[in-house]
């Protein structure tokens, strides 16, 4: 069985309130169409965060459906399986699922219970003669038993011993979180508001665990679980090659063979200079080192003081000398007493702030103002409240 694994598309992202990424997403999806055409996978799976917001605009929704239809036309026999991530609204993702099934495209938004039991049929997709897909969307912590329940059901159905693919949108502990802010609570990693689970919590009889949520591509400890990473760079921290993953599994029980297919970005993300430098040095460096291909620029400044109000205009006028360089923002880092840059806790700029988990913001506010750490009772309380608001929003 051959599977094309991707996740974290974040369609509809607007960078710094200003730069609509649709052209860049189109550039990615054009490449995805070519990959489907040339590789002919048995299924295309998208492990969550289809949209950037849980209320995507009409143009984003149309953009996704137009592009999915293009893929359907290229490979009508190939099922497309898309799950909701924590950025998506699960009910919105499922709202048109009945229609989409007619073109072999499956949207799975949330787990559902009938009485005490989960509805399992919506998570289990058989690709006849090829294999099985266990399509688990982003689920709240208390539903984590769903993974093993679905795998058990597939075990019983899989009399031909075909490969089993598990999909998930979650944090796996000890993964590499470079493109994200992570925090630890009660010994568990938390990324983007999702508490980590351990691979050992999940029965080991899947052949490949197609993960989404962490944007840094990586294969995890057991060699069978992989974050394919985001296909389009979403912020200045994601300084790595963006890609999709092609997975081949011969038989159930064999190790998966993965191939990373790198994607070409339409625009690049430049952090200039690489290390924070005093304002005048940073601007002079920028002027002498203007990138020659189009992209977003973040200027990396070291300053103990608030920057003068004309800083933004000065940066813009330097960028105007380049070809299609888009001003994004500057990042101001405070120097420590010994003159070295403090990079552990830089000031957030507005776009970074919007990406933050509410827990982190509250925790930081608390420690900054009261100069003491939040105790566990308060942390617990805060987590519960955030979780409850999230669940309400998801409905
Ligand atoms: Mn994501």
**186 token code pair:** 């009660």
Distance spanning both ends of the chain, measured CA to CA: 35
Comparing CA positions, the residue from 345, 387, 47 lying closest to residue 208 is 47
What does DSSP say about strands 14-15 and 19-20: parallel, antiparallel, or unpaired? antiparallel
Whole-number pLDDT of residue 183: 81
**Residue 121 Cα to ligand 1 middle (Å):** 26
**Residue 234 Cα to ligand 1 middle (Å):** 9
Whole-number pLDDT of residue 17: 83
**Residue 81 Cα to ligand 1 middle (Å):** 17
Mean pLDDT, each 10-residue run in order, the chain (395 residues): 98 92 98 98 98 96 98 97 96 95 97 94 97 97 96 97 97 88 81 89 96 97 94 94 97 96 96 94 96 93 88 93 87 77 56 74 74 80 87 77
**Residue 263 Cα to ligand 1 middle (Å):** 17
Whole-number pLDDT of residue 369: 62
Residue 198, C-beta contacts closer than 8 angstroms, at least 6 positions apart = 172, 173
Whole-number pLDDT of residue 383: 87
Q: Cα separation of 17 and 101, whole Å?
A: 35
pTM of the model: 0.85
Whole-number pLDDT of residue 96: 94
Whole-number pLDDT of residue 269: 95
Comparing CA positions, the residue from 234, 143, 256 lying closest to residue 195 is 143
User: Which residues lie across from 183 on neighbouring strands?
Assistant: 190
**Residue 45 Cα to ligand 1 middle (Å):** 15
User: Which residues lie across from 171 on neighbouring strands?
Assistant: 196
Q: Cα separation of 214 and 226, whole Å?
A: 10
**Residue 180 Cα to ligand 1 middle (Å):** 10
């Amino acid at each position: 069985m051959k599977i094309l694994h991707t996740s974290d598309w974040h369609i509809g992202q607007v960078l710094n309130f200003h730069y609509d990424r649709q052209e860049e997403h189109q550039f990615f999806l054009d490449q995805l169409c070519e990959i489907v055409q040339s590789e002919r996978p048995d299924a295309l799976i998208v492990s969550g965060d289809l949209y950037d917001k849980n209320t995507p605009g009409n143009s984003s929704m149309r953009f996704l459906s137009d592009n999915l239809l293009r893929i359907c036309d290229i490979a009508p026999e190939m099922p497309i399986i898309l799950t909701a991530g924590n950025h998506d609204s699960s009910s919105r993702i499922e709202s048109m699922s009945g229609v989409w099934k007619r073109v072999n495209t499956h949207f799975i938004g949330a787990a559902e219970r009938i009485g005490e039991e989960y509805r399992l049929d919506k998570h289990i997709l058989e690709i006849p003669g090829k294999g099985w897909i266990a399509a688990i969307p982003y689920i709240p912590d208390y539903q984590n038993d769903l993974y093993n329940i679905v795998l058990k059901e597939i075990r019983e159905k899989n009399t031909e011993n075909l490969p089993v693919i598990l999909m998930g949108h979650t944090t796996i502990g000890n993964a590499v979180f470079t493109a994200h802010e992570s925090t630890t609570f009660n010994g568990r990693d938390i990324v983007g508001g999702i508490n980590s689970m351990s691979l050992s919590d999940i029965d080991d009889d899947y052949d490949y665990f197609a993960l989404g949520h962490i944007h840094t591509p990586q294969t995890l400890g057991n060699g069978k679980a992989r974050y394919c990473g985001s296909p389009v760079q979403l912020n200045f921290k994601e300084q790595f090659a963006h890609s999709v993953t092609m997975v081949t599994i011969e038989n159930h029980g064999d190790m998966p063979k993965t191939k990373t297919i790198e994607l070409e970005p339409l625009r690049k993300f430049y952090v200039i200079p690489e290390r924070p430098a005093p304002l005048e040095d940073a601007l002079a460096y920028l002027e002498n080192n203007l990138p020659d291909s189009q992209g977003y620029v973040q200027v990396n400044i070291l300053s103990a003081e608030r920057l003068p109000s004309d800083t933004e205009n000065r940066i813009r006028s330097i960028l105007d000398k380049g070809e299609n360089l888009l001003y994004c923002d500057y990042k101001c880092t405070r120097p420590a007493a010994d003159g070295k840059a403090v990079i552990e806790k830089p000031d957030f700029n507005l776009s970074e702030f919007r990406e933050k988990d509410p827990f982190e913001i509250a925790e930081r506010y608390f420690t900054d103002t009261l100069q003491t750490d939040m105790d566990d009772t308060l942390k617990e309380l805060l987590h519960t409240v955030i979780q409850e608001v999230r669940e309400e929003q998801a409905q």
